[in-house]
Chains A and B, each alone.
Chain A
Amino acid sequence: MTPLLAIRGMVKRYRNPGFTGLVGRRSEAAVDGVDLEVQPGESVGLIGESGSGKTTLVRAALGLLDFEQGEVELLGHPLRGLSKGQLRGLRGRCQLMLQSPDASLNPGLSVLEHLLESARLHRPQADAGEVVADFAERVGISHRLAGLPYELSGGEKRRVGIARLLIADPHLTVADEPTAGLDAALKAEITDLLLATRSPERGHLFISHDIPLIAYACQRVAVMYAGRVVEELPVSAIGAVQHHPYTSALLQAAGFAVDCPPALAAAPAGRGLPGCCYLGPCPLALPCCSQQAPELRALADADGPGQHRVACHHVAPGVSP
């Protein structure tokens, strides 16, 4: 089955202007060699602290940001080969919900105008008015159709974003921090709305630093730190296997019962340095960690082969090639 989204070895650099833009131009790799796949019928989670490159990875994968190295296949089409028009044609079937939905609504347009535009764009044959009424009802925003974005609450703005997304009926739904800043009740409802399109040929990619939410919504999860995926595992294996030290620290902070030595002082992420990116704060660092960056290696502990992969010399010591 061709994956909905396949990212192989992506590297995306940001030029840090340095002093006066001339001296000391350092380019930091926001995304430093990442492989990630979303199969049809699957919901994948992507967790990591702010600044780990999650958002950059996703925007580059959807062709919104250009990237230096690596290959991306979107719904089976290689991204590099697509013309602007073809890429826009694909957009309908892979939708992105941004982190701050109140920023992604046009402040001058009412909710009704937003939904009508999506209906005319993605469902040209259907009657726009009916489509809008149906989906507004489904996400519970029909009582605020006349409102302007600044009159809506955070939750209501997210509902408008989801309504537009559902109207496009995407095969791949990518949600960047969909429930940041919402309280428990709203968080659950918004997540359920996003999962409404779950079906064998559709896939979801959830990005968040809220691990319990990912555990609830996804089947597989990848952990990112300083631009690299340091661990990939099925959600059922959370807390039941030996984790990458960074994942353990994340799980412990989120209240999961995980016994692992506390991380050292919060040293800055080691980007662009040889060796493991988690070297600074890692309590289990070995001498070889500083020379050679660990590869993602499969561990046989989770159910099924190759399900649980960790990039750490300590947890998954690789047989030197």
Chain B
Amino acid sequence: MPDRLSLEGLRILAGAKELVRDVDLQLEAGEILALVGASGSGKTLSARAILGLPGPRPGVVAAQLELCVGGQVLRPYQGLTEAVAAGRPGRFWRRAAQAFRPIRGHLVGTMAQDARGALDPLWTVERQVVEALSLGDSSDTPAAVLGRAGFRQPQRVLGLYPHQLSGGMAQRACIALALARGSRFLIADEPTTGLDPTVQEAILVELQRLAGEGIGVLLITHDLRIVPRVADRVQIMDRGRTVETLPATLLSSSSSPEVRSLIDATARVAGGAL
């Protein structure tokens, strides 16, 4: 049975304000799911919920997350609904670090938008990869891990510090850290923003190669132009709700008004590329 990540009924609150309402998200191994929407549509919050990362107070109040990897099934959000019902969410979140430890960096890796910022400025790339490796039991060498992330000469990069890396190299280093311990899923949050066009292209090709190797990629972006070329399926979010989920190639033929307005805005600005 192929590796699968399924998140259902996700609900996130900031105080009383509802940021995300019953969002579902299914991701299979080897598939690229694009999560698209304007800024503030809750796409990043939903992705962070998969790793139980800290967010607004009280944050995730309802979620059923199920990770099936190699026959093993994990349900980290077990006990959340009871704790929230009892009015004591703290009771769940205090043990959240243990609940999510087997997932963070082991089964699900992440790539931040500002790749250079996601690396410790005072440590060399090698030291950060060694730290990631030491958390698991894999016997890989740092150079091998970097090689898998698409570096042609890993030796040259090991001794460098984050501020010496170009945009593209920093993104690849983040990919290496995310997959150091054999993660089966990768969350890429706006991986192409701020990069020069040619470098953007290289990173997207990299994501497609990883998907080809059986890794499930969740690609978060507000740039509709890259979706048909890269993603298998696309899920459009608007103001915290999932508007529609459809195969990426059918994106331009979608009927719902929110999708149309997004496509029009992008078409006006993006020229004939869509």
Q: Do any beta carbons of A and B sit within 8 angstroms of each other in the complex? A: yes
**Chain A, range 248-283, C-beta contacts under 8 Å to B:** 249-250, 252-256, 263, 266
Q: Are A188 and B269 interface neighbours, CB within 8 A?
A: yes
Q: Are A185 and B261 interface neighbours, CB within 8 A?
A: yes
Partner of B269, one of A181, A191, A252: A191
Among listed A97-105, A106-114, A212-220, interface-contacting one:
A212-220
**Size of chain A's interface in residues, with CB distance under 8 A?**
27
Closest A residue by C-beta to B229: A255
Q: Are B198 and A183 interface neighbours, CB within 8 A?
A: no
**Chain B, range 234-274, C-beta contacts under 8 Å to A:** 261-262, 265-266, 268-273
The minimal Cβ–Cβ distance linking B170 to chain A, given in whole angstroms, is: 15
Cβ of B39 under 8 Å from chain A: yes
Q: How far is the CA of A49 from the CA of B229 in the complex (A)?
A: 22
Q: Are A184 and B200 interface neighbours, CB within 8 A?
A: no
Q: How far is the CA of A256 from the CA of B196 in the complex (A)?
A: 15
Interface residues on B, range: 20 to 34
The minimal Cβ–Cβ distance linking B228 to chain A, given in whole angstroms, is: 9
The minimal Cβ–Cβ distance linking B210 to chain A, given in whole angstroms, is: 20
Q: Which one of A184, A213, A249, A256 has the highest number of Cβ atoms from chain B below 10 Å of its Cβ?
A: A184
Q: How far is the CA of A49 from the CA of B272 in the complex (A)?
A: 21
Q: Which one of B38, B198, B200 has the highest number of Cβ atoms from chain A below 10 Å of its Cβ?
A: B198
Q: Are B197 and A184 interface neighbours, CB within 8 A?
A: no
Q: Are A253 and B201 interface neighbours, CB within 8 A?
A: yes
Closest A residue by C-beta to B166: A266
**Chain A, range 160-197, C-beta contacts under 8 Å to B:** 179-181, 183-188, 191
The minimal Cβ–Cβ distance linking A52 to chain B, given in whole angstroms, is: 10
Among listed B8-16, B19-27, B72-80, B218-226, interface-contacting one:
B218-226
Q: Are B198 and A184 interface neighbours, CB within 8 A?
A: no
Q: Are B197 and A49 interface neighbours, CB within 8 A?
A: yes
Cβ of B56 under 8 Å from chain A: no
Cβ of B193 under 8 Å from chain A: yes
Q: How far is the CA of A295 from the CA of B10 in the complex (A)?
A: 60
Q: Are A184 and B273 interface neighbours, CB within 8 A?
A: no
Closest A residue by C-beta to B261: A185
Write out the residue numbers on chain B whose beta carbons fall within 8 Å of the beta carbon of A253.
196-198, 200-201
Write out the residue numbers on chain B whose beta carbons fall within 8 Å of the beta carbon of A184.
38, 222-224, 262, 265-266, 269-270
Q: Are A185 and B225 interface neighbours, CB within 8 A?
A: no
Contact flags (1/0) for B108-144 with A, using CB distance below 8 Å? Answer: 0000000000000000000000000000000000000
Q: How far is the CA of A215 from the CA of B225 in the complex (A)?
A: 15
Q: Are B262 and A209 interface neighbours, CB within 8 A?
A: no
Cβ of B194 under 8 Å from chain A: yes
The minimal Cβ–Cβ distance linking B248 to chain A, given in whole angstroms, is: 14
Q: Are A183 and B229 interface neighbours, CB within 8 A?
A: no
Closest B residue by C-beta to A179: B269
The minimal Cβ–Cβ distance linking B25 to chain A, given in whole angstroms, is: 21
Q: Are B273 and A254 interface neighbours, CB within 8 A?
A: yes
Contact flags (1/0) for B202-227 with A, using CB distance below 8 Å? Answer: 00000000000000000000111110
Closest A residue by C-beta to B196: A49
Write out the residue numbers on chain A whose beta carbons fall within 8 Å of the beta carbon of B270.
184, 212-213, 216, 255
Partner of A50, one of B196, B223, B225, B266: B196
Cβ of A115 under 8 Å from chain B: no
Cβ of A7 under 8 Å from chain B: no
Q: Are A212 and B269 interface neighbours, CB within 8 A?
A: yes
Cβ of A211 under 8 Å from chain B: yes
Q: Are A187 and B198 interface neighbours, CB within 8 A?
A: no
Q: How far is the CA of A212 from the CA of B261 in the complex (A)?
A: 18
Q: Are B271 and A215 interface neighbours, CB within 8 A?
A: yes
Q: How far is the CA of A50 from the CA of B198 in the complex (A)?
A: 12
Write out the residue numbers on chain B whose beta carbons fall within 8 Å of the beta carbon of A181.
193-194
Contact flags (1/0) for A37-69 with B, using CB distance below 8 Å? Answer: 000000000000110000000000000000000
Q: Are A256 and B273 interface neighbours, CB within 8 A?
A: yes
Closest B residue by C-beta to A251: B197
Q: Are B197 and A250 interface neighbours, CB within 8 A?
A: yes
Write out the residue numbers on chain A whose beta carbons fall within 8 Å of the beta carbon of B265.
184-185, 187-188
Q: How far is the CA of A184 from the CA of B271 in the complex (A)?
A: 12
Q: How far is the CA of A124 from the CA of B196 in the complex (A)?
A: 43
Write out the residue numbers on chain B whose beta carbons fall within 8 Å of the beta carbon of A188.
265, 268-269
Q: How far is the CA of A213 from the CA of B267 in the complex (A)?
A: 10
Contacts A50-B196, A181-B194, A209-B196: A255 and B273 contacting too (C-beta < 8 A)? yes
Contacts A183-B222, A184-B224, A216-B268: A49 and B273 contacting too (C-beta < 8 A)? no
Known A-B contacts: A49-B196, A253-B196, A256-B272. Give 9 more (CB < 8 A): A184-B269, A185-B38, A185-B261, A185-B262, A188-B268, A188-B269, A216-B268, A255-B270, A256-B273
Q: What are the 6 closest A-B residue pairs judged by CB atoms, nearest first? A: A253-B197, A255-B273, A212-B270, A212-B271, A183-B222, A215-B271
- Cβ contacts A to B, 17 pairs, < 8 Å: A49-B196, A49-B197, A50-B196, A184-B222, A184-B266, A185-B261, A212-B270, A212-B273, A215-B271, A215-B272, A216-B270, A250-B197, A253-B196, A253-B197, A254-B197, A255-B229, A256-B273
